[in-house]
Chains A and B, each alone.
Chain A
């Protein structure tokens, strides 16, 4: 008998993600991904000054403020063909990479690790054995018995007080939880340590972004950070050295903890290299530009067809038509008026809500395609592209990851194992290490440039009469983000955001091909339809925005999962 599982986060105002699955004989046989949030940013921006668009776009989402700000100024600069001074590129690159490192660490430890790590089991872990295990895996200096014992005692007090907090709603004791109490305790210890390091690296964003949680320092044409090595009120040498200290502080955590933990989880759950594959067309974009025009980048990106790295075709510049002409969005299954498949510059956004219909419209998310194909985006897409492009650090860290997993699992792990749920986590850790390397590179480039006496950070934009069009793209922590702007006489005429979660969470497209979330769920084993942990594992591996909501819900007060037999 088949059953239907509905996982619908609480969010009554901005609904967010709802997943419906059909399960037959313990496996998912069909799936629907439905974005429940209607995003009105496109209407809000019409008629406004393009120089201010980024201030509004950074409010689209509480998780991705910085990335929407950066992408917006890039879109307007692209429309104006406005070069960006090297100092501004380096400062933006530091913000982008620091935010990315922060985001990847938080995603693994605080938003998704609890899908694999059983906190209640961790309480039974022996601190001495856990320390020995940790020391056998890594030279990390904080795998000591005393630190681990301290964390276990703290957790025990916490659980005994009945206030599970962020640990409420976890599927503790679920049959798909496979780690030993010691591995669970080691991971729990790193969960707490990760809290410290994510804060440190996020301070880089705060220092450069003007000391508020929302960055304030952007401008169409550059950044608003005046550089003067001698003045206290501007970006000083002292601040720059503080930034370097923060960058260095998080390096050991990434290499000796995050990379190691992901490898260990991958080895213990190696069966999950066989689940969650889904769509294997991968799209990513180059990022961290080092020249004013955006033709040279620290990190490559491009398109890979059907999982075959030999098909990799790079995207080479901010003006590359391979990207600009390749993107379309369709609304056959989305709650908008009509049924079309259009280029973002030609889109309209007219909401038309109807009921959830399996074979009709069922989502607020549109269905993007790249040259007509559904594509997966995110760190996995980016790491595969960088690997295919021969990017040195990516090859080094990916090889290190696969070798370590192989050693722990007692087998050889090929690159093709990355096309999976666990592979998305592995790729994200590799990308985090790669991004961290760029922080040092960008920092040095900025310091050297200032040392040469170049203090320029801004080129003033001038808007022509008539219509111009631009696209800004960015390889954000969750994948390709693009903003598309049409400007007429200096005012915004049309604005579209094609966001990473649109690529991955989109519904069936105009050819009824399943979106990446949907496709990745087909075949997933589900031990207990009332506790669909396995479905959450795969969805979380994409790092959906507000995935944290799933962990945060209180099962006694909110109906999380409705299971109905059909």
Chain B
């Protein structure tokens, strides 16, 4: 949990989506892989938000930059990645079609009402191919995951939070 401290930069990387619904879980898989590969600097918290809604509120406490990682519909083909800077987060997500994004709209609307809305909200998305029951990602989305993770690393570096790769030494 990121503790609230005025004036400091606090970045939350929030992966959302349902792991049981194929490509719908791409956002969660991306942030899980990000934490596996990299050491996070102290101002960055990586959260697997799943399909939760209001329960995520405390995890956004004191957040200055919120990076939401998710499967998203858009122009292009499955596996393409997109970056959207969101001006009005609650209404942006209210019109999305998946249940967890309704939850997100809820969280962000409540955050707005309690003056706890992150200063900047950015959506990093990957276009899904199939979102039916199953644990596996589709081929194009699995192939696109590297691009998504690179985008995340670049985004964090751009915010002054470069990541350091973990060195795993097997002994």
A158 within 8 Å of B (CB atoms): yes
For A198, the chain B residues whose CB sits under 8 A away are: 54
Given contacts A40-B20, A163-B90, A165-B90, contact A552 B51 (CB under 8 A): no
B20, A44: Cβ atoms closer than 8 Å: yes
For A65, the chain B residues whose CB sits under 8 A away are: 50, 52
Contact with B along A63-74 (1 / 0, CB 8 A): 101000000000
Q: Which residues of chain B in 80-96 are interfacial with respect to chain A, using CB atoms and an 8 Å cutoff?
A: 88, 90-91, 94-95
Give A195 to B55 CA distance when docked, in angstroms: 11
A554, B55: Cβ atoms closer than 8 Å: no
Residue of B nearest to A203 (CB): B58
B132 within 8 Å of A (CB atoms): yes
Give A61 to B52 CA distance when docked, in angstroms: 8
For B53, the chain A residues whose CB sits under 8 A away are: 62-63, 548
Given contacts A59-B18, A552-B106, contact A206 B48 (CB under 8 A): no
Q: How far is the CB of B129 from chain A (nearest CB, A)?
A: 14
Contact with B along A40-74 (1 / 0, CB 8 A): 11011000000000001001111101000000000
B57, A43: Cβ atoms closer than 8 Å: no
B109, A195: Cβ atoms closer than 8 Å: no
For B56, the chain A residues whose CB sits under 8 A away are: 213
A342 within 8 Å of B (CB atoms): no
Give A393 to B13 CA distance when docked, in angstroms: 43
Given contacts A44-B134, A65-B52, A106-B54, contact A166 B113 (CB under 8 A): yes
For A549, the chain B residues whose CB sits under 8 A away are: 99, 102
Kindly state the interface size class of chain B when it binds its partner: 35 or more
The listed residue (A56, A62, A195, A557) touching B51 by CB distance below 8 A is A62
A11 within 8 Å of B (CB atoms): yes
A192, B52: Cβ atoms closer than 8 Å: no
Q: How far is the CB of B14 from chain A (nearest CB, A)?
A: 10
B133, A40: Cβ atoms closer than 8 Å: yes
The listed residue (B55, B113, B131) touching A154 by CB distance below 8 A is B113
B98, A166: Cβ atoms closer than 8 Å: no
Residue of A12, A39, A40, A166 ringed by the most chain B CB atoms within 10 A: A166
Give A106 to B97 CA distance when docked, in angstroms: 23
For B52, the chain A residues whose CB sits under 8 A away are: 62-63, 65, 213-214
Q: Which residues of chain A in 456-477 are interfacial with respect to chain B, using CB atoms and an 8 Å cutoff?
A: none
Give A110 to B19 CA distance when docked, in angstroms: 27
A211 within 8 Å of B (CB atoms): yes
Q: Which residues of chain A in 508-566 are interfacial with respect to chain B, using CB atoms and an 8 Å cutoff?
A: 546, 548-549, 552-554, 557-558
Given contacts A40-B133, A546-B99, contact A165 B48 (CB under 8 A): no
Contact with B along A187-228 (1 / 0, CB 8 A): 000001001001100110010000111100000000000000
A104 within 8 Å of B (CB atoms): no
Residue of A nearest to B133 (CB): A40
Given contacts A11-B97, A65-B50, A213-B50, contact A195 B114 (CB under 8 A): yes
Q: How far is the CB of A243 from chain B (nearest CB, A)?
A: 15
A398 within 8 Å of B (CB atoms): no
Give A211 to B47 CA distance when docked, in angstroms: 10
Knowing that A198-B54, A552-B106 touch, tell me 9 more A-B residue pairs with CB under 8 angstroms: A11-B98, A12-B97, A158-B113, A163-B91, A165-B90, A165-B110, A213-B52, A549-B99, A557-B95
